[in-house]
């Protein structure tokens, strides 16, 4: 019975079942990735994301961790200092490279927290009516509230570190994931094969984890990318307001330093380069997510 229900699922939902181990479904999933990377914007953004990861991992090899003061104060970009220097004589290029670590770690970790919470709440809402009533109200409330002031308030009370920021950002990013997963989950729950599984005596836990979850996995890939891009922006915002980890470099912190030392109007390089870094990373993650969404749902390709 198991393989038959899978077949139906692939045929009707057109979701790639990445968890399946039998040969036919794996071969059905493979062209999705091939089609995906055939789009120039998709492979370009995946390449950019890959380079960013390399930059973050290899930061100590690329640049010395910025600290202390240097003799070259407020130098424009040159061969010695590619992105110029700040008012303490620190190298902006080194700050941007080291900031990549913080942005990526918080972006990925926070979006994973949001993904786990959002998927759990979204799936439970889609399958259990009573949960849906409560879940939808909470999701709507969270979406209606101004998240940044809420995160500021909490971040100000706890000791800001990379991990507390990750938790705060992740905990407030789940509602959008929950909404996406719930709407897709509702479509799947209404399908005949779910009724079939129920008639065969499958437990609710089994239906949710084995039948509905595989059908929303591709949507989870999309939301992890989009949530990560929003998390990067949130982290930059909190750091810009002085709530970043004082021991870790961050793109928001470079902008804050420029703002605090009053050199925004003079040292264009101190604001331009971290801004470009945010733009490139977030754009790459967003485009990667959107292109994956196009390929996930072939009906949208024409529109």
Partner 1 sequence: MARFVLSRLLKAVLTIWIAITATFFLLRLLPGDPTTLMVEGDMTPEMQAALLRTYGLDRPLWEQYVSYLRELFQGNFGISFRQIQPVTDILLDRLPWTLLLAGTAFLVTIAVGIPIGVYAAVHRGRWADRVLQALGIGGHALFVPSVAMLLLVYLGARLGWFPIGGAIDPDTRGAAANLSLAHHLVLPVLSLVLVQLGPYALTLRTNMIEVLGEDYIRAARARGLSASRRVWKHGLRNAILPALTLMGLQLGTLVGGAVLTETVFAYPGVGRLIYEAVGQRDYPVLQGAFIMLAVTVVIANSLTDLLYAVLNPRIRL
Q: Which residues bind partner 1 (CB under 8 A)?
A: 137-138, 140-141, 143-150, 152-154, 156-158, 229, 233, 236-237, 240-243, 252, 255, 258-259, 264-265, 268, 271, 274-275, 278-279, 282-283, 286-287, 290, 303
- The residue (of 5 and 95) whose beta carbon lies closer to partner 1 is 95
78 three-state secondary structure = coil
DSSP class of 37: H
Question: Is the CB of residue 131 less than 8 Å from the CB of residue 167?
Answer: no
Least distance from C-beta 255 to partner 1, angstroms? Answer: 6
Please give the Cα distance from 244 to 242 (Å, whole number).
Answer: 6
Q: How far is the CB of 229 from partner 1 (least distance, A)?
A: 7
Give whichever of 140 and 195 is closer to partner 1, judged by the CB atom: 140
Judged by DSSP in three states, 91 sits in strand
Question: Tokens for 115?
Answer: 């993904």
- Least distance from partner 1 to the Cβ atom of residue 67, Å: 22
- Closer residue to partner 1, CB minimum distance, 214 or 289: 289
Closest CA to 99 of 58, 54, 56, 69: 56
Minimum CB distance to partner 1, residue 20 (Å): 32
Question: Based on CB atoms, which residue is closest to partner 1, 33 or 268?
Answer: 268
CB of 250 to partner 1, least distance (A): 12
Minimum distance, C-beta of residue 116 to partner 1, in the bound complex (Å): 20
Q: Which is nearer to partner 1, 34 or 299 (CB)?
A: 299
Burial of 244 (0-12, 13-18, 19+ CB in 10 A): buried
Closest alpha carbon to 179 in 141, 131, 140, 207? 140
What token pair was written down for 92? 């902006």
* Size (the chain), residues: 303
CB of 282 to partner 1, least distance (A): 4
74 or 213: CB nearest partner 1: 74
Give Cβ neighbours of residue 73 (< 8 Å, ≥ 6 apart): 85, 86, 87, 88, 89
- Looking at the Cβ atoms of 115 and 282, the one nearer to partner 1 is 282
**Alpha-carbon Rg for the chain in angstroms:** 23
Cα–Cα distances in angstroms (integers) from residue 208 to residues 74, 84, 119, 128, 258, in the given order: 58, 54, 11, 10, 50
Kindly give the residue spans of alpha helices, DSSP state H, lying in 128-212.
129-144, 147-157, 162-171, 174-189, 192-199, 204-206
State the minimum distance, in angstroms, from the CB of residue 44 to partner 1. Answer: 13
Measured CA to CA, the distance from residue 303 to residue 301 in angstroms comes to 6
Residue whose CB is less far from partner 1, 18 or 290: 290
């Amino acid at each position: 019975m198991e393989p038959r229900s899978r077949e139906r699922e692939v045929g009707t939902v057109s979701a790639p079942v990445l968890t399946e181990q039998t040969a036919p479904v794996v071969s059905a999933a493979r062209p999705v990735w091939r089609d995906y990377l055939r789009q120039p914007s998709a492979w370009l953004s995946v390449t950019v994301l890959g380079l960013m990861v390399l930059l973050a991992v290899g930061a100590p090899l690329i640049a010395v961790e910025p600290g202390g003061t240097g003799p070259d104060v407020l130098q424009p970009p040159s061969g010695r200092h590619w992105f110029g220097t700040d008012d303490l004589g620190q190298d902006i290029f080194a700050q941007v490279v080291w900031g990549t670590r913080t942005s990526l770690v918080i972006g990925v970790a926070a979006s994973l927290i949001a993904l786990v919470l959002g998927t759990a709440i979204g799936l439970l809402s889609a399958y259990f009516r009573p949960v849906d009533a409560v879940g939808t109200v909470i999701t709507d409330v969270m979406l209606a509230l101004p998240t940044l002031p809420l995160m500021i308030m909490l971040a100000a009370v706890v000791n800001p570190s990379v991990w507390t920021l990750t938790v705060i950002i992740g905990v407030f990013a789940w509602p959008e994931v929950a909404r996406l997963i719930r709407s897709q989950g509702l479509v799947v729950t209404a399908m005949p094969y779910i009724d079939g599984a129920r008639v065969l005596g499958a437990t609710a836990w089994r239906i949710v984890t084995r039948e509905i979850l595989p059908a929303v996995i591709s949507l989870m890939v999309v939301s992890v990318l989009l949530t990560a891009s929003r998390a990067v922006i949130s982290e930059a915002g909190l750091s810009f307001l002085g709530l970043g980890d004082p021991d870790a470099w961050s793109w928001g912190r470079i902008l804050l330093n420029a703002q605090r030392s009053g050199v925004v109007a003079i040292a264009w390089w101190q604001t331009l380069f971290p801004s470009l870094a945010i733009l490139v990373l977030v754009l790459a993650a967003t485009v990667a997510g959107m292109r994956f969404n196009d390929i996930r749902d072939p009906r949208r390709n024409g529109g």
